[in-house]
Amino acid sequence: MRYLVIGSGGREHVIYWRLLFDGSASEVFVAPGNGGIDPAHCVNINLNRHNDIIEFCKNKKIDFVVIGPEAPLADGVADTLSASGIPVFGPSAKAAKIEGSKIFAKEIMEKSKVPTASHRDFTGKKEIIEFIANCKKYPIVIKLDGLAAGKGVVVAENEEQAMEFVSESVKENSLLFVEDFLEGEEASVLGISDGETILPFISAQDHKRVFDGDKGPNTGGMGAYAPAPVAGKDVIERVGKEIHKPVIDVMKNQGIPFKGILYAGLMIGKENNVLEFNARFGDPEAQVLLPLIDGKIGDLFIASYEGKLKEGMLKFTDKHAITVVMASKGYPSDYEKGKLITGLDSVSNDILVFHAGTVRNGNSIYTNGGRVLAVTSVADSLEKARDKVYSEIDKIQFEGAHYRKDIGYRAFNRG
Ligand code: AMP
Ligand code: GLY
């Protein structure tokens, strides 16, 4: 099988690696790819021009396309490809709206009776300012509708923070809502769906803040591990029954079947409340989930496209994985690019280094983004995986590199 993976991050690098590693694929191209991917297999296609993607697939006899990020899904790349007879993994633009519109996601949750914080809708600055002026109880959570590259949510501890978010992010005609603040520990449970059946992954836990101890601004994710003990077998089973399946059923009944990865971001507790849905693999969650799959990932992608997923098809080894993101100086604010990365070849063979913001120039690799590398270890226990990754990571260096030193701390603090 010949695959094309769309995207350029760590998530796409792990998909590329996994397809080759387990024998799903004979050849994998990545558009546009990054410095970790064989340059002969990085392809420069303008992803906005769907016909160019189709033409590439025909020329290179691509059997199957996997779409990594949200933007091409929202842009309907899966729709165009399947309409042209090219099999593809990832939801239609209409189904991907469950990520792109938080209001749409709330509507689906209401219809499918999925546990989530109660909320109240607002339109524009005037209405929300009036609400904040009269609000007595903090924290409150304000969420903007629409894709906002991680800047669409604030958990405001007081009136000042709420107002700051409004003046920075809310426009006259913005659609938004305020929802109840929920306490607990977060975890994500992804499911792979063919529009009817949905099979749950083991749980994973991301670390969104830039600094140790969950301090500092939000990022795309600074590290992750799986499985997360806060969401063990019982939680996964409940998420399957109470969240994944009802959502898939409601979407199917509405004529927008969801095929692909439904990512449920959850606040684990007495109820496992949904904080958000994504329509794709998480990044860096994919870097810890994909190495733990037992079997051929390509079979799952194909079964999702063909509507042939069956119970028991998604299996995991009993190992543990952890990934630590190395980021550029300044990330998640402005950062510099073009720093030489050294030591990539000196890490132990059992460390998987997935590239994200990197670029190759000759035989050298340079930084080319905020999140640069996801340094990953798989071991018999989470502790061993953590110790391994942190004993190796400093062999890789670039000017200004920073990473969190406490990935997985919640699992270890449970005692
Ligand atoms: P979202 O993009 O909706 O997942 O929100 C981003 C982050 O804000 C989440 O990962 C949580 O840490 C936090 N958050 C979102 N909604 C809530 C809520 N209702 N209560 C507490 N924290 C929340
Ligand atoms: N790591 C969170 C996400 O991919 O949305």
Domain boundaries, the chain: 2-90, 119-180, 183-306, 320-413
pLDDT at residue 415 above 70? no
pLDDT tens by residue, 370-396: 999 999 999 999 999 999 999 999 999
Cis peptide before 217, with omega less than 30 degrees from 0?
A: no
- Which phi and psi angles does 77 have, rounded to 5°? -65, -40
Amino acid at 262: L
Q: Could you tell me which CATH class the domain 119-180 is placed in?
A: alpha beta
Half-sphere exposure of 217 (CA within 13 A, CB side): 9
Homologous superfamily of 183-306: ATP-grasp fold, B domain (3.30.470.20)
What is the pLDDT, as a whole number, of residue 308?
Answer: 98
Average pLDDT over residues 289-315: 98
Token couple for 285: 């969650």
Per cent of the chain over pLDDT 90 is 97
Q: Please determine, for residue 151, whether its predicted confidence score (pLDDT) is greater than 90.
A: no
- The 10s digit of each residue's pLDDT in 55-64 is 999 999 999 9
pLDDT tens for 95-122 read 999 999 999 999 999 999 999 999 999 9
* Average pLDDT of span 175-203: 97
User: Which CATH number fits the domain 2-90, given the four candidates 2.170.120.30, 1.10.274.50, 3.40.50.170, 3.40.50.20?
Assistant: 3.40.50.20
Ligand 2 atom nearest residue 224's Cα = 1
What pLDDT digit, counting tens, does each position of 79-93 carry? 999 999 999 999 999
Superfamily assignment of 320-413 in CATH?
Answer: Phosphoribosylglycinamide synthetase, C-terminal domain (3.90.600.10)
Which has the closest alpha carbon to 295: 281, 306, 309, 282?
309
Nearest CA to ligand 1 atom 9: 275
Relative to the CA of 208, which ligand 1 atom is closest?
10
Q: What is the pTM of this model?
A: 0.97
Average pLDDT score over the chain: 96
Q: How far is the CA of 229 from the centre of ligand 1 (A)?
A: 20
Cβ–ligand 1 distance for 379 under 6 Å, the answer no
pLDDT band at 146, cuts 50/70/90? Answer: confident
Is the CB of residue 278 below 6 angstroms from any atom belonging to ligand 2?
yes
| Pocket perturbation via mutation, ligand 2, pick of 98, 278, 287, 288 by most ligand atoms within 8 A of CB | 278
Note the pLDDT tens digit of each residue in 337-374. Answer: 999 999 999 999 999 999 999 999 999 999 999 999 99
Q: In the structure, how many helices (H) and strands (E) does the chain have? A: 14, 22
With the most atoms of ligand 2 within 8 angstroms of its CB, the residue from 15, 276, 283, 325 to mutate is 283
- Is pLDDT at 138 greater than 70 in this prediction? yes
